Amino acid sequence: MSDNTTRRGLLKGGLAAGAGLAMGGGAARAEGDPLITEVQPWASGLGDGVDATPYGLPIEYEADVIRRNVPWLTADTISSINFTPIHALDGTITPQGCAFERHHSGAIEMRKEDYRLMINGMVETPLVFTYADLERFPRENRVYFLECAANTGMEWAGAQLNGAQFTHGMIHNMEYSGVSLRTLLEEAGYDTSATWIYVEGHDASSNGRSIPMEKALDDVLVAFKANGEALRMEHGYPVRLVVPGWEGNMWVKWLRRIEVRQGPVESREETSKYTDTLADGTSRKWTWVMDAKSIITSPSPQSPITHGPGPLVITGLAWSGRGAITRVDVSKDGGKSWETARLAKPGETKALTRFYLDTDWDGGEMLLQARAMDETGYVQPTKQQLREIRGENSIYHNNCIQTWWVQPNGEAENVEVS
Ligand SMILES: Nc1nc2c(c(=O)[nH]1)N[C@H]1C(S)=C(S)[C@@H](COP(=O)(O)O)O[C@H]1N2
Ligand SMILES: [Mo]
């Protein structure tokens, strides 16, 4: 590139930034700030060489962007959960290193060489695949969210946890590379009269779950890479099941066995898992699909507004287990009036969608809410609407609209509006 084009490029960039300013973006006048007018230490010496960090971690100044546990939620960390710092991330892809973890008997360490996957039951030929075998089948790349059915579960009875990380952080969104389960079932010659599969993991809990055959043959993946690299141990290294749009519990990690069956496994353990209590005291089971939901990630209790009135970017995430997000509305007055947010890009099926509302904050208090809509026409319900059907004794599948009370000092709090 010649000096000339470079300079023209810079000039254009400058003009674009200027246009942003005219629209009201935040910036200061150029004079008087030594951080830009004077030579700083980082410009007077040399930086680290390329081999200083063969596999990099975030810079120390981002040490706050980490998974967090809520110690009182579970008895110990072996059968526990932590939360994705969604309040501090942008875009839609969750880095594996801060993507929430949920395990029932701890994360196990397994070498690829020791990995085996069995497909048995109603098949022509029961098969055992090694990791190397799996790599020889045609591969797919797909981005999907995984949400634990217990996400937002503490909020049924009232506003409880103060931060999007804790109220909505049992979710992550990754690009998976793997083989379609259908391909492997065909390889084993599945019996077309089979109606279910039963899947289990190599870990002590095994996390066995039954999945209807229709779903198994649709979009389920046997995945070995996430966001381009090997799955992290805590996400099921070397191989996990990806069950798009369905509750996280079915996404079996350290996948060990797939049994092709007639009917589900009706163990007490499985039936009691992830059922939904209704207002009349009865329970609903087999509510696998995660309904449309959204959350404002900033401003939020862990991500307060740190500037005065004027331009403010309100942002968050929306998703639906039934397809693509088509629209997200944002309210500043607790649901009385709504403005349609801008989707960073068109919604993708069963994946997180980032939304922005570029707004002008008057410095007053706000009751911030987001409301998601998906391609089926489903509209995310209010907490009150959900409670009318589900009562207050539910734990799982809480997809209600969340409210943040933003105060004039920029701080935000988890509240409920009636
Ligand atoms: N083998 C196995 N698979 C498992 C689990 C487990 O404990 N063991 N936990 C399940 C639950 S409840 C959830 S929400 C997801 C969490 O996946 P993650 O740890 O990658 O976030 O894994 C599911 N798959
Ligand atoms: Mo879960």
Do 171 and 91 lie in a common domain? yes
The whole-angstrom separation of Cα 130 and Cα 389 is 47
Task: State in Å: Cα 103 to ligand 2 middle.
Answer: 8
Over residues 168-210, the pLDDT tens digits come to 999 999 999 999 999 999 999 999 999 999 999 999 999 999 9
Tokens of 263: 């009917």
Do 92 and 32 lie in a common domain? no
Q: Which pLDDT belongs to residue 269?
A: 63
* Structure confidence at residue 270 as a pLDDT band (50, 70, 90): low
* Structure confidence at residue 5 as a pLDDT band (50, 70, 90): very low
Q: Phi and psi of 164, rounded to 5°?
A: -60, -30
Residue nearest to atom 11 of ligand 1 (CA): 249
Do 18 and 126 lie in a common domain? no
Do 22 and 108 lie in a common domain? no
In a domain, 50, yes or no: no
Task: State in Å: Cα 113 to ligand 2 middle.
Answer: 28
Q: Which pLDDT belongs to residue 268?
A: 62
- 303 - beta bridge partners? 300
Q: What is the CA 402 to chain-centroid distance, rounded?
A: 16
Task: State in Å: Cα 105 to ligand 1 middle.
Answer: 10
Best residue among 104, 233, 396 to mutate for probing ligand 1's pocket (most ligand atoms within 8 Å of CB) is 104
> Over the chain, what is the mean pLDDT?
91
Ligand nearest to the CA of 204: 1
Residue nearest to atom 12 of ligand 1 (CA): 249
Residues 52, 85: contact at Cβ < 8 Å? no
pLDDT at 13 over 50: no
Query: 14 lies in which domain range?
Result: 7-41
Overall average pLDDT of the 340-356 stretch = 98
Q: Which pLDDT belongs to residue 25?
A: 72
pLDDT at 407 over 80: yes
Residues 6+ positions from 321 with CB-CB distance below 8 Å: 147, 244, 245, 246, 289, 290, 291, 292, 350
The total number of structural domains that make up the chain: 2
Task: State in Å: Cα 416 to ligand 1 middle.
Answer: 30
In a domain, 374, yes or no: no
Ligand nearest to the CA of 250: 1
Best residue among 76, 101, 173, 253 to mutate for probing ligand 1's pocket (most ligand atoms within 8 Å of CB) is 253
Q: Which pLDDT belongs to residue 8?
A: 35
Do 21 and 153 lie in a common domain? no
Look up tokens 């944002």; give the residue: 330
pLDDT at 15 over 80: no
pTM value is 0.92
pLDDT exceeding 90 applies to what percent of the chain? 81
Overall average pLDDT of the 248-255 stretch = 98
Task: State in Å: Cα 216 to ligand 2 middle.
Answer: 19
Residue nearest to atom 24 of ligand 1 (CA): 252
Q: Specify the pairing of strand 221-226 against strand 229-230.
A: antiparallel
What does the CA dihedral 117, 119, 121, 123 come to, rounded to 10 degrees?
-160
Do 33 and 155 lie in a common domain? no
Tell which of 284, 313, 339 closes a domain.
Answer: 284
Task: State in Å: Cα 253 to ligand 1 middle.
Answer: 6
Task: State in Å: Cα 189 to ligand 2 middle.
Answer: 31
Q: Which pLDDT belongs to residue 95?
A: 98
Q: Using the 8-state DSSP alphabet, how is residue 209 labeled? A: E
Radius of gyration over every alpha carbon of the chain, rounded to an integer in angstroms:
24
In a domain, 400, yes or no: no
In a domain, 350, yes or no: no
The whole-angstrom separation of Cα 274 and Cα 43 is 56
Neighbours of ion ligand 2 (CB under 5 A): 102, 148, 248-249
Q: Which pLDDT belongs to residue 191?
A: 98
In a domain, 353, yes or no: no
- 174 - beta bridge partners? 144
Tell which of 254, 284, 314 closes a domain.
Answer: 284
* Structure confidence at residue 24 as a pLDDT band (50, 70, 90): low
Best residue among 103, 202, 224, 274 to mutate for probing ligand 1's pocket (most ligand atoms within 8 Å of CB) is 103
Pocket of ligand 1 from Cβ distances under 6 Å: 100-104, 146, 148, 172, 201, 203, 205, 207, 234-235, 248-249, 251-254
Do 19 and 110 lie in a common domain? no
The whole-angstrom separation of Cα 131 and Cα 55 is 24
In a domain, 97, yes or no: yes
In a domain, 205, yes or no: yes
Task: State in Å: Cα 214 to ligand 1 middle.
Answer: 22
Select from 99, 62, 94 the least CA-distant residue to 83: 99
Do 97 and 22 lie in a common domain? no
Tokens of 94: 């969750």
Atom number of ligand 1 nearest to Cα 241: 24
Tell which of 284, 299, 321 closes a domain.
Answer: 284
Q: Which pLDDT belongs to residue 274?
A: 65
The strand order across the sheet containing 325-331 reads 339-340, 325-331, 366-374, 403-406, 412-415
Q: Phi and psi of 167, rounded to 5°?
A: -80, -30
Residue 403, classed as helix, strand or coil, is strand
pLDDT at 412 over 70: yes
Overall average pLDDT of the 140-157 stretch = 96
Do 22 and 105 lie in a common domain? no
Over residues 120-143, the pLDDT tens digits come to 999 999 999 999 999 999 999 999
Do 106 and 251 lie in a common domain? yes
Task: State in Å: Cα 61 to ligand 1 middle.
Answer: 30
Alpha carbons within 13 A on the beta-carbon side of 130:
6
Best residue among 251, 256, 269, 290 to mutate for probing ligand 1's pocket (most ligand atoms within 8 Å of CB) is 251
In a domain, 394, yes or no: no
Do 121 and 178 lie in a common domain? yes
Do 20 and 150 lie in a common domain? no
Window from 67-76, 232-241, 253-262 with minimum mean pLDDT: 67-76
Over residues 52-102, the pLDDT tens digits come to 899 999 999 999 999 999 888 887 888 789 999 999 999 999 999 999 999
CATH number of the domain encompassing residue 103: 3.90.420.10
Q: Tell me how crowded residue 109 is: count the other CB atoms within 10 A of its CB.
A: 9
